[in-house]
Every structure is written in C-alpha cells, then in structure tokens.
Structure 1
C-alpha cells in the first residue's frame, strides 16, 4: 500500500493489460510529464504571461478604434475622404475572417508560437501603416494588421483559459476585458492627440516598442506544457475551415465594395462596379452557407447551433450590439470636427468618457456575476443604457450644454460592456463543455460581422445623406466641384467661407444624426432579441484540465475523457441534460472524449473540449473525414 505523495503520483487510469505505469511510459514521455503545466506555474510567471498577452490585447483593441479620429487627417492628406471608412473595415474584415485559424495554430505551433505569430503580423501591419505613401497601401497595411490583431485576442483567451477555471475566469475575464476596453476606448483620444502634436503616422509608429515588450514577456514566461495536444500538425491543419474562411472573406468584402461603389462613389446601379460585387456577395454567401452545412469538417458556422435558441439569440445580439458600438465610435469624433469645428485631439477627447465607462462596465459585470452567479437582471437593467445614450447623442446641437456633449456617451460604453460580458457567460452557461468553443465561435462570428457592418453601413448611410443634404444647400457655378471637395475632405469644412461653411456644417449634422439614430435602432433590436434568454445559476463551474504531471501515462499526448471528471454536484453529462431544458440540446458521443485545448475561440471565448467524433464542428461522425 502506497502512502503520501507516492500514492498521489500514481496514474488515475491503469493499463488494461496489467502492465505497470513505468512500462507504459517511454523515457521521452516521462521527461515531458515533468514539465510544468498551466496550473502549476508560479504566480510570478503567470503574471508575466498575463502582462505579455494583455499588452498585446490592449494594442489590438487600440488599433480597432485608433483611426476614428485619424480619418479626417489621413483622408485629407490623400484627398480621399470618401474612402476613409476602408481604414476601419479592412482591419475588422481581417479579424472577422482569419481569427479562426489561430485556435488551430495554438495546437500546431503551441501557445507561445501562435501568440507571437499574431504579435508579429500586428506589429508589421502597424509599421506599414506609419510608412504608407498612399491610401491603397494604408488600407492593405490595415488588413495585414488585422491578421494579427484578431489572433492576439484569440490566443490570449486560450492562454487565460489554460490557467484559470471557468468560475475564476468570471473576474479574470473582467480584468482582461479591462485592457480590451481600455484600448478600444482610448484609441480615438490617443490617435487624435498624437495626430495634432506629431502627425497621424506617429500614432502607428509609437506602438512598436509595446509590441516588442509583449513579444519579450511571452518569450520569457510562456513556456508551460498543455495536456491534450492534438494528433499531428497535418491532422490539425486539415481540420481548419479554409473554405469557410475564404468564402466568408469574399462575401463580406464584396458587400463592402458594393456599399463603397454605390453610396460613397455614387456610381449608378448600371455600373459593373456596383452590380458585379453585389452579385458576387450573394453567390459567395450562398456558397459559404452550403459549405458550412454540408462540406466543412470544422465549420465556423456550426450547423447544429442554428437549431438552438440561445446561441442564435446571442449571435443576433452580438451582431446588433457591435453594429451600434462601431457606428457610434467611428462617427462620434467626426461630429465634433465637422459640426463644432474642433481639433482632432479635442474630438478624440470626447471618447475618453466612453473608454472609462467601457472598462468600468466590464469590471462591474464580471464582479457582479462572480458574486451573485446571475446575469439576466444585469442585462435587463443595463441593456437599455446604450439606447438612451444613442438617442442623447443624436439630439446633440452646436449649442448643447457641455454635460450632454461630454457625458451622453457614457451609458453607451457602460451598457454595451455589461451586455457583451453577460451574453458571453450566458452562452457558456447554456452549452455543454464539448461545444463551448464552437458556440463562442458562432457568437463571435456574428460579432465580427457586426463590427464590419457598423462601419460600412453607417458610412454608406452617412455619405448618401451628406450628398443629398449638400445638394439641397449648395447651388450655382462649380457647385458639384465644391460638394465633392467637402465630401472628400472633412477638414476642409473649417476653412470654407462663412456661407458655404454653414451649409456644410448643417449637412454634416443632419447626416450624422441619421447615423446615430441607426445605432439607437440597432441596440434596441438587440435588447428585444435578448429578452427570451433565461437566467441560469453559475455556481457549478465546468471542470478544467489537470496539470501535465497528473495526466495518465497512456494519454501523454491526449488527455483522458473529461466526462469522468465531476465538478460540484453535476458531471458533464448532467450539464448537458440541463441544457436540453434550455433549448440547447447537447452534443452526445460515445466513448472517451479526448481533449484538444482549442479550435475557434472568440476574443472572450472559452476553452474547447473536443473529441475525435465531433471535433469542433458539432457534425455527426459520418460527415467528418479525418
């Protein structure tokens, strides 16, 4: 009979052939088991890892909104204000379509390799932005930066999931969201300040040392070994949804081309630049859906979740909330620069309250859910805040009191931060462990499309309204030329003669009011979509992985079934049974469920527990070829 630590080190699962554990473990595997797992690392190492990945998260979020206050300066230098929205949509489009790759790369390259690849592409794209000589190069550089930006957020989520349990992650994710929200909220103000003082190019170049710090911190600290590594690099790469990512990219990109050509460039419907991309968008959207439903072994759009109430409602809410967020953030500074004629730094400063409120909202939601284990009441109360804020913003006038100009955006940031946090937890609470990453990827897909749509659709509406309003107010000789100059250069408004300036300011004010009302409508529809989502106690947290040293010898490469592990009073099977009552039937498989730590993760998603039978796709075994 063994005593003390010797007994604790005995494998939980014995060889069925009666062989000793020592005989079952080759020397190399024994060496691997001695490496430190994510739950065994020291506090200092864990904080070093968090500092590295959260620095990258901050920069990724910063670049999401950085160009909001740089648009007038950049577009005026290149004289292409009508194309300025591409600086936002290019970055968001890359995030939306290429983020799924990084979940798989975490298995192929390891956590550190995948994270540092993302940091490298983000830094390279940022440097290229600062050195761009024309609008086309700058747009391409933004797309390159987005390739890394989405990966930074995804790998940070997976790494955090390795080190913390779901229950502990309630507060940890709130802190993580603080850096995400802080970057998103400070992007506009910092961009405007740096643009006024040093020029818009320095807003990109100044970030490069921080990217280096992030890379250095992960190089030194991110060295733990994760249990449950996938079969082989070839197997993992085969499971990536290349077809889905490509068709989604072409479909969304074609929609953006159509919106730009028809509403920004004002080309007629008969122009090939209008009807060709519109046709391609429809064709590739159909191909994307068919590919996801029938062909892809690991689809981004998991077919089974389309039949489940909670993931679909969360996806709709994510789409509409993201559309509201990015509609306001990309147009709010423009109102101050074109209607009040402020500088870029002062216009960006009006986004500071939003950044603070987003950070406070994320922390508040995480703290309350951590303390109470509930989320629905939070959602019902604070979910109406963004609607009220959007209405207040739409009512701004040149003679509005400072309190309205500075504080009206606060409920928007706070409310939407609470909504996104509660919807994440609601999604995780209503899904079985085996489909957690699939569900979060499903919700994040809608969120990413909403971000792109918020910038692109608001830009199309804004340009259409602006063109119409300018034609109502400006007449006479050279009217068309004057209107084109005003549309192409927002900074020109402050330099116009008094009569033309008055016409331009009024036109911008009316056009932006329509955009803010669109945001209000979007967030109200999101609120209605969330109402049917039920509350569910969060007291019983899902089981997490054990340390590497505790893994059974026979599963040094693939961890044993998590269904054998219980947490609280419920096992994985019990949790799945509960989910059926909530409109989310579980994904059932027979036999052990080996663990791979990632497929497609959202920027705030959960760690995947995936099996050879269902993979990350929630598709039946017969439709998967491995």
Structure 2
C-alpha cells in the first residue's frame, strides 16, 4: 500500500515509537510516527498553508460586501455570500473524518483543498450574485474539510504529549488567516477589485496541493475495516436533513426580512414549513437510524456537553455578528474605504491570539479554568455594549480599540470551554463530545450570521421608510438598501438620512451580539470547576525541531485516547 487508507483502530509499527532512520524516498511504507522530521515539516507546511487560506476566506468577504452587492445590485442578498460558506462547512465537515478512512489521509486532504480552490476560482469568475453564492457554498465544502483533515493528520504524526504543541503552532496560521481576511479583502477591493481577492489565492492553493500530494504518503496503523463498512457508517441522512433544515431557515429569513415578503407569500411559508419538516427528520435520523450520528443522542442528557455546546453557539453568534458588520459601520456611517474598514478588525485578531496564549498559560500554571472564564468571559458583553455607543464623532480610541475585549474574552472562553468539556467527560465519550460541541458551534455561526443579517435588513428597511417620504420613496429605499456605494453620490440631506438609518440598523446588530454574549455567560455559570492534573513539561527540544524519538511507553499509554479522537467522523 503506497498511501494510507486505514483508520487508526489498531496498533502497528506506526505507533511503536521507532525512530526513522530511512530516507524520505522510502517513507511511503512508513507509519506516521516513522517518517522523518523533514518530511513532517513539509506535510505541516502544506496543511497549514491550506488552513491559513481557509481561515482567510471565513473573514474575507465582510469588507467586500458593499462592492459586490453594489455591482450586482442585490445588497439584500449579500449575507448569503457568508452564510453559504458557513452552511457548507457546518453540514459537511463531519463527513471528512470518515472520508479520511475511505480515501486515505492524502486523498481526503487533497479533496478538501481541491474543492476549496475550485470554489475560489468560481467565485472570481462569477457574473451574478446567485453564482457567487453557489461558488461560496462549493468552496465551503472544502474549507471545513481542510480544518478536519489537518487536525487528523497532525494527530497521526505526533504522540499525545507533543500533539498540543504542534496544534498550537497550526493555530497561529488559523489566527493569521482570520485576522488578515478583512484587511486583505478591503485592500484588494480598493486597488484591484473584489475578484482579485479570490484569484490571488489560487497559486497558494496550488502550492499547498503540491506539498500535500508529494509528501503525504505514510501508512496508518491497523488493518481497519473495509471501505464498504466505513461508508455504511457515515451519517448521510443526518447531513442531508441538517442541510435541508438550516438551508430552509436561511431561505425563510431572507424572504421574510431581507426581501420584505408577507407571511402569506409561498416564498415565506414554504421554507418555514420545510425547516420544521427537515428538523423532525433530522432528529429521527439521529435518534433511530444513524449508526454514528453527528448529533449523539447520548450527550443531550449530559449537563456539561450541552452547556458547552450552547455557549459555543452563542459565542459564534456574537463573533460572526460583529466580524461581518463592524467593517460595514465604517463603510456606511463613516463613508470609509473598504481597506480602512478592514483594518479596524486587526486589533481584534491580535487579541484573539493573545487571549488563546494567555488562557493556555494560566491553565498550565493553575490547573483551573472556571475563575478565569468567569472573570474574562464578561469582556465580550462589555465590548458589544461599547459598539452600540459608536458615533461619527467618537474618538479614535473607541473606534479602533472597542472591539479588542471581544476578541480577547471570546478566545479565553473558547479555550476554557474546551478544557471544561474534555475534563468532565470520560475518555470513551471524548471524541463524540467534542464533535457535539463543534456541531453546535457551527450551527451558531451560520444561524448567527443569518439572524444578524435579518435584524440588520429589517431595521434598515423600517428606518428608511420612516425617514423618507414622497412619491419616489419606495424607489429610493430600494436603491439605498441594494447599493451601499450609492451613499457617496446622494444629496447631502438624503445622505444624512441614509447614514443615520445604517447607524441605527447596525446598532441593533451589536445589541444582538451583546444579548448572545450575555446568554453565553449565563449558560457557562453552572459548568463545574475541576482541578486538572499537573503534567511536568518536557525540557527536551520540541519534536518538530529534531529527528523524533518517541517514548514507547508514552505512546502505548496514550494509544487508546488516540484511537478515540482520530476515528471520529
């Protein structure tokens, strides 16, 4: 077997801890812990580059939305550019765990990166809002898979003691992508047009694909099950019904609140009805049909996983609402350029990285997570409140730094919630509990962005109609809602009305973010604290800097946990 195609179910030479003394040319027959450190670095370079690009695409479009919506004259549909990507990521990412067993790590990783790159190319070539939304959905099919396969591959190649360190290095690239998405999108839009922000990524995707294709050739331990058995255990029904449910909810919100359709219109009540039907089907599949459901019924009765999942979903609502609409405030209220608007997200990205490192350091020093969560978990709520106080004449300190507590606080919350989850679950439920919490977080992302968009569009329509009167009022309201660039050309009195209407609408979005953050804090209060076991850190050089010498006893002791984590789909 020249490349791995087997799940991590049994121990073989790949986990016997033997140091690799063979050349790179012979590593095609080696297990993930046998390959040389040089090859591991090349594999990590490929998956981390793909991970950076996927994170970049999560936050790329907010500063580009006004230009895109103005070109297509469909500003009320602009939110679908973001929600389509998140919808695909939320519903199809859980499948990549099983696909990595069927296609092999190399095949699954290449498939994810290929989907993402083809979607990116299609985005740049789109000639309508509908085709751009479809392209973003296709790109999301691969974007979520890149994160999943990167985590699996990293876990393959490193033992339990060094895995956390390596994953933290990968987190740097994720944070960079998230932080640079907004400014990058704005700069490219201002100077070269929004399409260039997609096209320029293609050479880097090509490099990532080349690195993965030429280096990711190790064999995974264990004989595993045959392909037919693995395919039968994939929860296709759960993914399809989840996609139908969430997609129907998004269609309902778009028709009712973006387009202003009445409840009696078929375009409103049909998606609403379908959402209920798909929701019931999803629960039936998960409870009675799926062999390995993506929403495990067992954990619905468990206190900690449910509370952690609810907190993650509400935090996602808060994060996505602010990330997408904070730059819009500068573009519509302050009439700033897209690049300037995007730069206002940089302080938030710096604080996300700082908060994650700080949380890890404190937990390592104290072995506790509850107190830190309760202290710093209120910062996102305070940040959202400050956002509601933004005015045109606000000082530069408020405009640039009011978002910083949000990134710092939510980074600490997500870190401590993961620790709370894994420390309060038995080892046998670790993988399924993590997947449960991640699923709810994904639902919070796509649902939060859709809800924020519905609140924004509904309030904007109401504000404009309240302020604009006359025989051409409907045409003016429609034009202002559908083309942000029109604000620059409006007469002073009408421009003042439009800017004030946008300010009021965005304030409603920030109030939504504050409410979500407060509810997330309340959900975390009952989560118990727990003294974590103290592990003395190793003083030997990090494994990625030396030829790996794996402690055989440590590997054997951690193997059961590795099986549980790596085999989840």
State the TM-score, normalizing by the size of structure 2: 0.89
Partner of 2:76: 82
Given that 1:171 and 1:363 are in contact with CA atoms closer than 8 Å, whether structure 2 keeps it comes out as no
Using the TM superposition, give the Cα deviation of residue 54 of structure 1 relative to its aligned residue in structure 2, in angstroms: 1.1
Residue 28 (structure 2) pairs with residue 59 (structure 1): no
**In structure 2, how many angstroms separate the alpha carbons of the residues matched to 1:327 and 1:318?**
14
Quote the offset at 1:418 in angstroms: 1.7
Taking a change above 3 Å as real, the CA distance of residues 538 and 158 of structure 1, as seen in their structure-2 partners, is: farther
Name the residue aligned to 1:319. Answer: 313
Residue 372 (structure 1) shift:
4.0
Determine if the alignment matches structure 1 residue 97 to structure 2 residue 91: yes
Report the equivalent of 2:176. Answer: 182
Contact 2:33/2:156 (8 A) holds in 1: yes
- Residues 46/374 of structure 1: CA separation in 2 closer, same or farther (3 Å cut): farther
Structure with higher Rg: it is: 1
Distance in 2 between the 1:164 and 1:455 partners?
A: 36
Query: 184-193 or 366-375, which moves further after superposition?
Result: 366-375
Counterpart CA distance in 1 for 2:564 and 2:356 is 30
Structure number with the higher helix fraction is 2
CA distance in 2, matches of 1:166, 1:430: 19
Q: How many residue pairs were aligned?
A: 533
Residues 363-401 of structure 1: CA deviation (Å, up to 9, x unaligned): 332343344443223322221111111111111000000
User: Separation in 2 of the partners of 1:305 and 1:369?
Assistant: 26
Q: Distance in 2 between the 1:114 and 1:425 partners?
A: 28
Deviates most, 300-309 or 226-235: 226-235
Determine helix, strand or coil for the equivalent of 1:356.
helix
Q: 1:163 to 1:363 in 2, by over 3 A?
A: farther
What are the Cα deviations for residues 378-431 of structure 1, in whole angstroms up to 9, with x where unaligned? 322221111111111111000000010001111111111121122222222222
- Preserved contact between residue 430 and residue 565 of structure 2 (Cα < 8 Å): no
Render the CA deviation track for 1:259-283: whole Å, top value 9, x for unaligned. Answer: 0000000000000000000000011
1:599 matched to 2:553? The reply is no
> CA deviation digits over 1:503-543, x for unaligned, max 9?
001110011001001101101111111122223344378xx
How far off is 1:180 after superposition? 1.5
Q: Which residue of 2 aligns with 1:375?
A: 369
- 1:569-580 pair list within 5 angstroms: none
Cα distance between partner residues in 1 of 2:342 and 2:224: 46
Confirm or deny that 1:42 pairs with 2:36: yes
Work out whether residues 50 and 146 of structure 2, in 8 Å CA contact, stay in contact via their aligned partners in 1. yes
Question: Does the alignment pair 1:495 with 2:489?
Answer: yes
> Which has the larger displacement, 242-251 or 173-182?
173-182
Would the aligned equivalents of 1:69 and 1:192 in 2 still touch at CA under 8 Å?
Answer: yes
What secondary structure does 1:70 align onto? helix
Contact (CA 8 Å) 2:349, 2:407: kept in 1 or not? yes
Q: Which runs of 5+ in 2 are unaligned?
A: 1-9, 13-25, 536-548
Aligned counterparts of 2:161 and 2:304: Cα–Cα separation in 1: 20
Query: Which residues of 2 match residues 517-536 of structure 1 at below 5 A?
Result: 517-536=511-530
What corresponds to 1:256 in structure 2? Answer: 250
CA contact (8 A) 1:244 1:300 kept: yes
1:301 and 1:516 mapped to 2: Cα distance? 30
> What do the CA deviations read for 1:214-241 (whole angstroms, capped 9, x no partner)?
1122223322222135311111111000
SS of 1:269's equivalent?
coil
The aligned counterpart of 2:22 is none
- Measured against aligned partners, the alpha-carbon deviations of 1:456-501 in whole angstroms (never above 9, x if no partner) come to 0001001111111111111112011000000111121121100100
Q: How much does 1:167 deviate?
A: 4.5
Offset of 1:84 from its aligned partner?
Answer: 0.1
Is the Cα–Cα contact under 8 Å of residues 39 and 215 in structure 2 kept in the other structure?
Answer: yes
Gaps of 5+ in 1: 1-10, 14-31, 542-548, 553-561, 576-592, 601-626
Shift of 1:359: 1.9
> What are the equivalent positions in structure 2 for 1:16-27 lying under 5 Å apart?
none
1:147-158 equivalences in 2 (<5 Å): 147-158=141-152
Name the CA distance, whole Å, in 2 between partners of 1:306 and 1:432: 15
The match for 2:458 among 455, 461, 464 is 464
Q: Which residue, 115, 119, 127 being the options, matches 1:121?
A: 115
Alpha-carbon distance change, 534 to 167 in structure 1, aligned in 2, over 3 angstroms: farther
Counterpart secondary structure, 1:270 = coil
CA offset digits 1:25-45 (Å, max 9, x no partner): xxxxxxx99943223333222
Q: 3-state DSSP class of the match of 2:59?
A: helix
**Matched residue SS, 1:396:** coil
Give the structure-1-normalised TM-score. Answer: 0.81
Q: Is the 8 A contact 2:387 2:510 kept in 1?
A: yes
Answer yes or no: is the 8 Å Cα contact 1:261–1:267 preserved in 2.
yes
RMSD, matched Cα: 2.5
Q: Deviations over 1:573-607 (max 9, x none)?
A: xx9xxxxxxxxxxxxxxxxx97783222xxxxxxx
1:295: which partner in 2? 289
2:333 alignment partner in structure 1: 339
2:124 aligned to 117, 120, 130, which one? Answer: 130
Match of 2:505 in 1: 511
- Structure 2: how far apart are the matches of 1:373 and 1:178? 23
* Stretch of structure 1 that moved more, 429-438 or 53-62: 429-438
Change (3 A) 1:112 1:372: farther
Mapped to 1, the partners of 2:168 and 2:233 lie a distance apart of: 32
2:400 aligns to what? 406
Determine helix, strand or coil for the equivalent of 2:221: coil
Deviations along 1:422-453, one digit per CA (max 9) or x if unpaired, are: 22222222223332221111111111111101
Q: Indicate the residue corresponding to 1:193 in structure 2.
A: 187
Task: Find the counterpart in structure 1 of residue 135 from structure 2.
Answer: 141
**Does the 8 Å contact 1:115/1:155 carry over to 2?**
yes
Aligned with 1:438 (options 432, 435, 442): 432
Pick the aligned partner of 1:482 from 472, 476, 495.
Answer: 476
> Equivalent residue of 1:66, what SS?
coil
